[in-house]
Amino acid sequence: MNDISPPAISLPFTEQLAAFYAYMRSEKQFSSHTQSNYARDLEKFQQFCMQKSLIALPDLGVNHVRMAVAHLHREGLGGKSLQRWLSSLRSFFQFCVKHGWMKNNIADGISAPKAPKMLPKTLDADQAAQFVQIEGDEFINKRDRALVELIYSSGLRLAEVVSLNLVDIDWSDSMLTVTGKGKKTRILPIGSYAISALKDWLVERKQYTQDNEQALFTTQRGGRISHRAVQMRMQQLSIQQGMDNPVHPHMLRHSFASHMLESSGDLRLVQELLGHSNISTTQIYTHLDFQHLARVYDQAHPRATRKTKNEEE
């Protein structure tokens, strides 16, 4: 989408929104996806204002934004979506303040309800071993074995493993150069099982790939494998390998992080390996680690029988 326009029907402050959309498009040069998100968020607020007969920007106050947040929350909008919605409003109101259409940014200081913290699903060590032990000597078997071994060995994101090239592997030191989010590169170790699977795969790869193809993981047609193809193969492998639940690429990455933290206890190390710019992102794995420790404690300690909250009630 190259152009964002206010809705055709008459809604409040459409002229100001038209100017804001033009500003996003020309000066800020936001992507069409970002522009669409802003448009959807701001239209929600327009609809709310129309229902409350709030037509002009100067009529709006902090209480109206709070009411809109509560309304959208009741409608089922989650904490993260509301945070993004408020961010869109702040940007628009700041634009309006700059142009003298409003005296102050009425969305400043308003926060969305906290989203419940969802712990990532992981495999335990035995389940991970079961998933990556792919049997067979066909092209697809060797490629998939190398692919999942490498994701689990080095904690890669889906986009990272798909974008890998042959030159990214340092075979002498068993290291891998990865380009992650924000085009930041990091160097990661590759485990022995993954190295063995990769070497086996590269022999097979030569039979299907032209010499000038740089992609590490390819299809039988010789081109770079796509994100969707990896996702579909992992869905199929989940059934083939007898997993209880579907395994997706990020679950292997989460499992890598959880297992590394359980073994090393070094949060900074895990942060570096995962390529997280902020350690708070990595800290979610400490919750997984504590859950694991609690289970082990309950099973191992002779006086560890503890009542759960439900039992106490």
Marked catalytic residue, from 84, 224, 250, 292 = 250
List, in sequence order, the alpha helices (H) in the chain: 14-26, 32-51, 62-74, 79-98, 125-132, 139-154, 158-162, 192-205, 227-240, 249-264, 267-274, 279-282, 284-300, 309-312
Cβ atoms within 10 Å, residue 53 = 8
280: its two tokens: 């708070």
Marked catalytic residue, from 44, 142, 205, 253: 253
98 is catalytic: no
Which of 276, 295, 303, 306 is catalytic? The answer is 276
Query: Is residue 276 flagged as an active site residue?
Result: yes
Burial class (CB in 10 A: 0-12, 13-18, 19+), 10: exposed
Assess whether 205 carries a catalytic annotation. no
DSSP 8-state assignment for residue 155: T
Q: Which of 181, 184, 227, 287 is catalytic?
A: 181
By the 8 A CB rule, do 201 and 161 touch? no
Q: Which position among 21, 38, 152, 285 bears the catalytic label?
A: 285
Alpha-carbon distance of 150 to 199, in angstroms, equals 12
The one catalytic residue in 25, 157, 186, 248 is 157
CA 94 to CA 287: how far, in whole Å?
38
Active site residue 114: no
Is 250 assigned a catalytic role? yes
Q: Is 285 a catalytic residue?
A: yes
175: β partners:
170, 189
Q: Catalytic residues, which ones?
A: 157, 181, 250, 253, 276, 285
